[in-house]
Amino acid sequence: MQAVDELLTIVMVTSPVPSNPSTAMLEHVLSSCTTAGGFNGCPTIVVSDGYRVASAGQRPKPKAGRVPPHWEEPYEEFRHKLDDLDSTASSALSGVQHIRVLEHKGFAGCLHIALRQVRTPFVLVLQHDRPCLRPFDGSGLLAAMMSCSQLKYVGLPTKASLARTEPAHLASNWHLQPEVWDAANGSFKLRPLCLWYDSAHICRLDHYRDFVFRKGRDWSGGFPEDSFGQDMQLELRSAAAEGRWKEVHDTFGTYLYDDGGGPVVGHLNGRRFSLDLERGTSSGRKFFTAALEVHDKLPTT
């Protein structure tokens, strides 16, 4: 197999958060994911989304790119730090390529921009508040995807995604009993996944470019999970009712990594993170235990 850094590029999308101008959250998430998967040395792109400042009387909506006025200066300082990264610095962010987006594009739009710069066949997509909790077989996962073209997207498990791929859930909610894909070395299984999650995942670059971001789709500053993912669910449900589930699922090629160890990816509480920075408890295990939570909502569908 080729060297991992020739196969995989890491793309992380970030946007204004209360912890700006600190880069500690990004460093923690990136470090945890590269270490957990053995992806140190892989080319890395960080995309900082654009924003609008809420005017007087307007309600801030950070997820829609409208931020309170007091967030502007810290976020701009944060972006300047990303611009000035030294490739020799001893930081998880050293050597990363920073793409500064001028207007609010949302997660999907920022990802679309970043993928134009990717030159490897696979991409690891990360959200800025989703760290890895434990190691996983990153090289084995890439080897599996290289050996089987059917594997187009493999998500790293969260509590929610594990629950959604349980046989009992698929049987009761989808009336399905799909086969599980076993890794050649026996270290993990890949469960068929019925929803496209934006949370940490490895995907074929051409699948993103030619299928997910196909021409004609209006992302409107949103998330693939909320648009493409919902369309995917509707299409799969219709196909399942007609007995064509596997045929249609193969076009999406979505699977979930499962080595029996539970969730690989957690979620950082951004507000608590900001408070911990102010208190000086943002580094090492003290920060990890104080600010890290695994709190996905359990599925209802």
Q: Rg of the chain's alpha carbons, rounded to an integer?
A: 19
Q: Are 184 and 239 in contact (CB under 8 A)?
A: no
Q: Side-chain half-sphere of 255: how many Cα atoms within 13 Å? A: 28
Which CATH fold would you assign to the domain 4-293? Spore Coat Polysaccharide Biosynthesis Protein SpsA; Chain A (3.90.550)
Q: Are 12 and 30 in contact (CB under 8 A)?
A: yes
Q: For residue 89, what are its two tokens?
A: 């610095």
> 36: closest CA among 124, 120, 166, 159?
124
Q: Are 201 and 124 in contact (CB under 8 A)?
A: yes
Helix axis angle, 270-279 relative to 284-291, nearest 10°?
Answer: 140
With 0-12 / 13-18 / 19 or more C-beta atoms within 10 angstroms meaning exposed / middle / buried, residue 227 is middle
**DSSP secondary structure letters along 16-53:** --TTTT--HHHHHHHHHHHHHHT-TT--EEEEE---EE
Distance of CA 96 to the CA centre of its chain: 17
Q: Are 26 and 81 in contact (CB under 8 A)?
A: no
What are the residue ranges spanned by the domains of the chain?
A: 4-293
Distances (CA, A) of 40 to 5, 28, 202: 8, 14, 15
The residue to which tokens 């790293």 are assigned: 156
Secondary-structure percent of the chain, ordered helix, strand, coil, rounded to 5? 40, 15, 45
With 0-12 / 13-18 / 19 or more C-beta atoms within 10 angstroms meaning exposed / middle / buried, residue 69 is exposed
What element of type H or E holds 18? none
Q: Block means of pLDDT (10 residues each) for the chain, length 301 residues?
A: 95 95 93 96 97 94 94 97 75 90 94 96 97 96 96 96 87 79 85 93 96 74 85 90 90 96 89 56 40 39 42
- CA separation for the pair 120, 118 (Å, rounded): 6
